[in-house]
Amino acid sequence: MDFADDPAAAEFRAGLRSWLSEHLAEYAHGTGYESAEAVERTHKWHKALAQAGYVAVSLPAEYGGRGLPDSYEGIVNQELAAAEAPPSPPIGHIAHAVVDFASDELKTRVLPGLLGCTQVWCQGFSEPGAGSDLASLTTTATADGDRFVVNGQKIWTSGAMWSRWCLLMARTEPDLPRHRGISMLVVDMESSGVDRREITLASGSREFAEVFFDNVSVPAANLVGERGQGWQIAMHMLAYERGPADMGWVGRLGQVIATAREAVSSGQLTADEALRQRLAAAAVDVEVLQWHVARSLANRGPGSRSEAGSVDKLLTIRIEQNLYHVVNDLAAASFVVGPPTTFANYLWSRAQSIYGGTQQIQRQIVAQRILGLPRD
C-alpha cells in the first residue's frame, strides 16, 4: 500500500506548513487547560486554525468544511505534531453527528459557531455508573410538548466548564431495550438547571468536569436524528473520533522519541546498552503504529464504522505507556522535577487505558466484530 501524498495532498500539506511557519509562533506557548489564561490561548489557537480553513476539513463545503477526504484530517494532525503545535480542536466527531443526522434548521443554527470555534462544545456521554457500559446511562430526557426535560448527571466531560453547547446522550424511551431507548440532544449549557463542577487531574489539568442537569428545558428542535437513534449516532461518531486524531498522537510520540535520542546522543542523559536497546525498540513500535494507523485510515470508507480503530487504540496504549517508562528510566529524578509537561504527559499516558473506551471494551470489539467470537 502506497501512503505517499498525491499531488493534491502534497499541495495541501505544503500550504499548511507555510501557514504554520508564519503563524505558529504567536500561539505556540501557553496553551493548555491548567489555568484560565491557558484555556483562553487555546481557544484563540482553535479560532486561528478555523479561520485559516484547517478545522473539520472533511466536512462538506456547504456546512463550513472543505469537502476533503478523511486522510486530509490526518495530514492536519500530522503537521501540527511535527511542528510541535498545540492540537486542533476535538470537534470532528461532533460535527459529523450534526451534519449527518440533525435537521437543516439545527445545522444552520449551530454549525457556524462549532466549525468557526467561536462557541465551544462538549460531549455529554459518560456517567458515574455508565462509563465503559455506556448503554446503561440513566440521564433522562422526558418529552413535554415542544420540549424535553433533562435530569441526570454526566462526568469526565471534557471542556464542560467553558462550553456553550453539549451533545448529550439521554434516555427518552425508558420502556425500550437500553440501546434503543437513547436519544441525542443539543443542550444549551447556559440553560437554567445546568450545574458544572470542575475536576482537577493529578497533572494539574482542569479540562474535565461533572455536569448536573436538574429539570433542564431543551427545545424538541434540538433533537439530533430521531428519538431512539442516539446509540446509532454515537457509534457513527466513533468512525471520526479515531484515525485522523491518531495520526497526530503518533506524531507527538515521535517527537518524544526524537527528544530522547538527542538527549542521549549529546550526553545530556546517560544510557547503558540495555536502555539504548529499549529506546530503539520503542522507536520501532512508534513507527509501526504510524503505518498501522495510516492503513486503517486508508481502508476506511466515508462514514463507515472502523473496528480497526480499536486495534489502533490497543496498540497506542501499550506503545505510549512503554515509551514513557523508557523515558522515565532515562531521565531518573529529573523526569519528576523537570519540565511539568513531561511528567504530565506520563500521567496522561496512564489514563490511556481508561478514557475513550477502556482496554477491555476495545478487546471486546476486536473479539466480536473482527474475529467473530461469540459474546459469551
| Grid coordinates given for 301 | 470508507
% residues pLDDT > 90 (the chain): 46
> Residue 118: which residues within 8 A CB-CB, separation 6 or more?
47, 112
Q: pLDDT band at 337, cuts 50/70/90?
A: very low
Judged against a pLDDT cut of 80, whether residue 338 lies above it is answered with no
Stated pTM of the model: 0.84
Intra-chain end-to-end CA distance of the chain, in Å: 36
Look at residues 91, 50, 45 and name the one whose alpha carbon lies nearest to residue 99: 91
Q: pLDDT band at 31, cuts 50/70/90?
A: confident
Judged against a pLDDT cut of 70, whether residue 89 lies above it is answered with yes
> Residue 33: which residues within 8 A CB-CB, separation 6 or more?
39, 42, 205, 206, 207
Average pLDDT estimate for 48-56 = 95
Q: Which of 198, 241, 262, 307 is catalytic?
A: 241
Query: Could you tell me which residue, 244 or 171, shows the higher pLDDT?
Result: 171
* Most confidently predicted of 60-69, 196-205, 341-350: 60-69
Q: pLDDT tens for residues 9-23?
A: 999 999 999 999 999
Residue corresponding to grid cell 478523511 = 70
Average pLDDT estimate for 141-170 = 97
Q: What is the largest CA-CA distance in the chain?
A: 71
Judged against a pLDDT cut of 60, whether residue 144 lies above it is answered with yes
| Mean pLDDT taken over the chain | 87
What gap in Å lies between CA 83 and CA 271, rounded to an integer? Answer: 27
- Is 320 a catalytic site residue? no
Average pLDDT estimate for 33-52 = 93
What gap in Å lies between CA 201 and CA 346, rounded to an integer? Answer: 13
Cβ 324 vs Cβ 345: under 8 Å: yes
Q: pLDDT band at 368, cuts 50/70/90?
A: confident
Q: pLDDT tens for residues 341-356?
A: 667 777 778 877 777 7
Average pLDDT estimate for 361-376 = 80
| Grid coordinates given for 32 | 493548555
> Residue 344: which residues within 8 A CB-CB, separation 6 or more?
203, 204, 205
- 2: exposed, middle or buried (Cβ count in 10 Å: 0-12, 13-18, 19+): exposed
- 146: exposed, middle or buried (Cβ count in 10 Å: 0-12, 13-18, 19+): exposed
